[in-house]
Amino acid sequence: MASNRDPLELASGLIRCPSVTPHEGGALDFLVQILEPAGFRCHRLPFSQSGTADVDNLYARIGTRAPHLSFAGHTDVVPVGDEASWTSPPFEASVLDGILTGRGSADMKGGIACFLAATLDYLEDHGGEIPGSISFLITGDEEGPAVNGTVKMIDWLKAQGEAVDHCLVGEPTNPEALGDAIKIGRRGSLTGELVITGIQGHVAYPEKAANPLAGAVSILNILNGHLLDEGSDHFDPSNLEVTSVDVGNSASNVIPARVAAKFNIRFNDRHSADSLKGWIAQIVEQELKGTALKSDIVYEFPSDCFVTEPGPLVDILRDSIDKVTGRRAELSTSGGTSDARFIKDICPVVEFGLVNKTIHQVDEHVEVADLYRLKDIYRLFLDGYFATIKT
């Protein structure tokens, strides 16, 4: 039992499972073998969907009462890249000079190991009884298409009537050093393609043609130059980037028939995907009015923007980080998306884990000392959570 509470041994055990998405690689089995004897009710949740690989997931809960704190993470890892470039084999979990090297050490098997170790400590100190519930929501499909993982697990939780009160995501949130940043939200992302169709013709006879580029240039100029907002309490300003304009016209004497432009908007809580779509539709209509040009816009499925307003959950986590590292973590909403974007639909969610400097790289690594410090942070967080949060 003692070694089960050692975050380095747990992280090493997980890293030795070659769980490159969508392969389970033994990583979920590894967790079940520890969680079940500790009293967790474990549910393996394999999901499939045509056109995507089958994925295995794990939900494990101890306790039946509220408050229910869930720890969310993923055991899948990105491919190793050029294996010959690694200084030690990526699934060996080698420790040298206080550094643990291995694929997934930071993103995010290390984080899972730390929370598991902290939880087992907490349970032992409380004789296996807790004033609420703790669960692990572990997916094998975060680094992949993310369709057979957290989204479907949340649907399953709802169908089972499993209410979660708060969620801590163990993704590596610190850019440089442990204690840098807690993520309390993420900006939304909306990607679209605008296609404008005109009438092809000879450049010398423009009256017989309709140039779609004229419409595209004026529309993109307005979209690109518009100040969406100046930021909000927790977010940077929203931003639209035109990422591609394709005409495919190799002739200098031909007015083309069609232009396709792609753009992405990273937006804060002053907007929604629908409000932005409405704004763009209005600009397109206004600029093409009275012309022979036609338009069509296709959007990819958007990610919502969300923020967990600072309150007891954030305070408990921030104070725990402060006690262990002596640092006041920044409350950040920067960076790309994570599975927190799905979890926020069922409960408030915060993210804190290891240092993300080497994630997805060759020689991904973490400092062994950080594993022990993160375990201590999570342990203090558990103490504070169950002492403070009453539902």
- Report the interface residues with Zn ion, using CB under 5 A: 107-108, 171
Q: Which two tokens stand for residue 296?
A: 């069509």
CB of 354 to Zn ion, least distance (A): 10
Query: Of 76, 143, 304, 367, which residue is the catalytic one?
Result: 76
Nearer to Zn ion, 291 or 334 (CB): 334
The DSSP 8-state label assigned to residue 207 in this structure reads: G
Q: Which two tokens stand for residue 154?
A: 């949340």
CB of 107 to Zn ion, least distance (A): 4
Q: Which two tokens stand for residue 36?
A: 């079940």
Contact in structure between 107 and 172 (CB atoms under 8 Å): yes
Is 125 annotated in the active site? no
Number of H helices, E strands in the chain: 9, 19
Nearer to Zn ion, 110 or 201 (CB): 110
Nearer to Zn ion, 68 or 152 (CB): 152
Residue 72: half-sphere exposure toward Cβ, Cα within 13 Å: 27
Nearer to Zn ion, 201 or 353 (CB): 353
Query: Of 24, 56, 141, 142, which residue is the catalytic one?
Result: 142
**How many residues are given for the chain?**
391
Which residue matches tokens 């419409």? Answer: 215
Nearest to 186 by CA among 268, 301, 299: 268
CB of 53 to Zn ion, least distance (A): 18
CB of 80 to Zn ion, least distance (A): 15
CB of 167 to Zn ion, least distance (A): 15
Q: How far apart are CA 300 and CA 193, in angstroms?
A: 9
DSSP line for 313-332: HHHHHHHHHHHHHS---EEE
Q: How far apart are CA 20 and CA 31, in angstroms?
A: 16
CB of 366 to Zn ion, least distance (A): 13
The DSSP 8-state label assigned to residue 235 in this structure reads: B
CA angle 381, 384, 390 (to 5 degrees): 120
Q: How far apart are CA 283 and CA 332, in angstroms?
A: 32
Q: Which two tokens stand for residue 58?
A: 């794990």
Start-to-end CA span in the chain (Å): 32
User: Residue 245, class by beta-carbon neighbours within 10 Å (0-12 exposed, 13-18 middle, 19+ buried)?
Assistant: middle
Nearer to Zn ion, 108 or 355 (CB): 108
Nearer to Zn ion, 74 or 266 (CB): 74
Which residue matches tokens 């939900």? Answer: 59
CB of 112 to Zn ion, least distance (A): 10
User: Residue 22, class by beta-carbon neighbours within 10 Å (0-12 exposed, 13-18 middle, 19+ buried)?
Assistant: buried
Is 76 annotated in the active site? yes
Residue nearest to Zn ion (CB): 107
Nearer to Zn ion, 165 or 171 (CB): 171
Q: What residues act catalytically?
A: 76, 142
